[in-house]
């Protein structure tokens, strides 16, 4: 164990760094005493973001000791927190200075939450920064033991706004750059927002990288990490969900179609959600019990992963899927922008795609249509407004023509 050096920092930061919208918040969090937790899917750049923070920290505070551990590739003693702390003290360059300890893939150690809690309560001059890739494990192993002692942040695949900034668009809204937005949107609907894909030049390279991420993470990592989930069943369920993204989820239909037993379907759905591959969208109702018990819709955290699961990684292959891919993109945009997002559906199947809330107030009721007149509300939106006139003050169609207003 030893503090990291500038040589190690430069070695880890090889490649293109795309500035993330969350970065300023993480910089501020570094200077607060609470344990910082950064979680999200694998391969979205959590480690790269951590090393970028380390580089800035080493420059801003040269007389501090910074330690980094990756539990995916390092084995070291974590059973005894006092022994661990004694090793930190023994290897510090600046004995009286603050210590920063970064731990990547923290969910790999089941007792890490209690371990960090002990050190946090006993030693003041230390800052812990943790990352993780599995939501339930992060919650049970890390967040719950650290209640009242943590700040947590979610890092998603790159958003459209982040990709546009990477492509050189600096000013928002983007009406003047509509052609650039249309080109970026087309590529995003096909290849998604994983940094390792976005930064590649050719389409063949992007396809290869996406297939590598989907195969390695979905079929290998998730099936190995979560016991009782085999790769073959995981792939069958993932393919079904990819084909039916944005549709009401029926576990019975999913089980019947794939031939995977319903109990295993439920396990795999949980694994895909815990691994940040898919997300659930719950229905809106003034009856909160109904909102939690009605069937959700399923969307993907990244459209490129959805396409890779189906082997649809050419422009021609997704032509008929543009509507559902655009809807998925709007879901991700709203999810990143608003506190809560729901959909609305009646028993006679009148449906509105999204209701977005700031706190408890409805900020936006909208439908996502890849090609549509954004000035025409549509009968479903008007039906929602008629049923909830006290809640729904205005309605909106989001299409590729006016998407710039919502980025």
Q: Give the mean pLDDT of 329-341.
A: 94
Domain spanning 6-154, CATH class = alpha beta
Residue 63 CB neighbours (<10 A): 9
CATH 3.40.50.300 domain span(s) along the chain: 6-154
Give residue 389's pLDDT.
85
> For 249-281, how does the pLDDT look when each residue is reduced to its tens digit (9 = 90+)?
999 999 999 999 999 999 999 989 988 899 999
> For 143-184, how does the pLDDT look when each residue is reduced to its tens digit (9 = 90+)?
677 777 888 899 999 999 999 889 888 776 666 667 788 889
> How far apart (Å, rounded) are the C-alpha atoms in residues 160 and 151?
26
Give residue 134's pLDDT.
67
Per-residue pLDDT at 316 exceeds 90: yes
Nearest alpha carbon to residue 302 among 168, 198, 165: 198
Query: Over the chain, what is the mean pLDDT?
Result: 86
**320 Cβ partners below 8 Å, 6+ apart?**
none
The residue to which tokens 């890490």 are assigned? 112
> For 317-327, how does the pLDDT look when each residue is reduced to its tens digit (9 = 90+)?
999 999 999 99
Per-residue pLDDT at 381 exceeds 80: yes
Nearest alpha carbon to residue 131 among 66, 76, 50, 52: 50
> How far apart (Å, rounded) are the C-alpha atoms in residues 245 and 380?
20
> How far apart (Å, rounded) are the C-alpha atoms in residues 376 and 379?
9
Residue bearing the bigger pLDDT, 74 or 57: 57
Q: Are 306 and 328 in contact (CB under 8 A)?
A: yes
User: Is residue 116 classed as helix, strand or coil in its secondary structure?
Assistant: helix
């Amino acid at each position: 164990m030893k503090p990291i050096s500038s040589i190690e920092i430069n070695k880890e930061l090889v490649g293109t760094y795309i500035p993330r919208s969350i970065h300023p918040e993480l910089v501020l969090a570094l200077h607060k005493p609470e344990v910082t937790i950064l979680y999200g899917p694998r391969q979205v750049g959590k480690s790269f973001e951590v090393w970028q923070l380390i580089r800035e920290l080493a420059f801003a505070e040269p007389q501090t000791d910074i330690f980094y551990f990756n539990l995916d590739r390092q084995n070291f003693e974590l059973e005894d927190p006092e022994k661990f702390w004694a090793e930190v003290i023994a290897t510090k360059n600046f004995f009286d200075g603050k210590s920063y300890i970064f731990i990547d893939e923290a969910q790999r150690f089941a007792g890490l939450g209690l371990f960090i809690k002990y050190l946090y309560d006993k030693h003041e001059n230390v800052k812990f920064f943790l990352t993780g890739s599995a939501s339930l494990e992060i919650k049970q192993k890390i967040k719950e033991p650290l209640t009242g002692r943590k700040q947590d942040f979610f890092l998603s695949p790159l958003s459209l706004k982040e990709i546009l900034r990477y492509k050189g668009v600096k000013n928002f809204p983007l009406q003047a750059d509509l052609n650039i937005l249309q080109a970026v949107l087309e590529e995003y609907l096909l290849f998604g927002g994983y940094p390792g894909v976005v930064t590649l030049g050719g389409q063949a390279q992007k396809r290869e990288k996406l297939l590598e991420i989907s195969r390695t993470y979905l079929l290998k990592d998730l099936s190995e990490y979560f016991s009782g989930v085999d790769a073959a069943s995981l792939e069958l369920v993932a393919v079904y969900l990819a084909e039916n993204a944005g549709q009401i989820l029926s576990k019975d239909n999913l089980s019947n179609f794939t031939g995977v037993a319903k109990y295993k379907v439920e396990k795999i759905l949980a694994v895909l959600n815990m691994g940040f591959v898919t997300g659930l969208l719950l229905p809106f109702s003034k009856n909160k019990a109904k909102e939690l018990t009605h069937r959700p819709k399923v969307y993907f955290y990244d459209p490129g992963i959805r396409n890779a699961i189906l082997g649809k990684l050419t422009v021609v292959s997704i032509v008929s899927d543009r509507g559902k891919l655009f809807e998925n993109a709007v879901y991700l945009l709203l999810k990143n922008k608003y506190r809560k997002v729901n959909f609305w559906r009646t028993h006679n199947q009148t449906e509105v795609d999204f209701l977005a809330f700031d706190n408890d107030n409805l900020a936006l009721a909208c439908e996502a249509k890849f090609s549509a007149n954004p000035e025409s509300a549509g009968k479903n939106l008007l039906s929602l407004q008629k049923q909830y006139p006290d809640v729904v003050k205005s309605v909106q169609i989001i299409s590729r023509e006016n998407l710039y207003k919502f980025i």
